[in-house]
Amino acid sequence: MRNAGAVVHLPDGRAFTFPVEGRSLRYPLMTAVDQSGDVALRFRRPGGPRYEYVLGSQVVIEPGRAVTTELLCVLAVSTAFLATYFLGGPG
């Protein structure tokens, strides 16, 4: 598993990292992991040939995780990380 090279820091000192599984943009999976090692979010690209040029991600909030304003901000900021990781852009 590799890291997307980005970290999101919250004002209260918490931080999220973004490990990536998969070797190409075709079927990748990225998670948002907090400083405790708990998964908060899971990101994936829609699969199949008709989505080949779509850079959007589907995001799931981990079951049992409280949906907070901070978590939604992490989601909003990090949605592009998965595509940019494979395209070589900034994370």
**Where are the strands (E) in 1-91, listed by range?**
2-9, 15-21, 29-34, 39-44, 58-61
- Residue of 28, 15, 21, 26 lying closest to 3 (CA atoms): 21
Domain ranges of the chain: 2-80
pLDDT by residue for the chain (91 residues), tens only, comes to 566 678 999 999 999 999 988 776 667 888 999 999 999 999 887 765 555 555 567 889 999 999 999 999 999 988 878 777 766 644 4
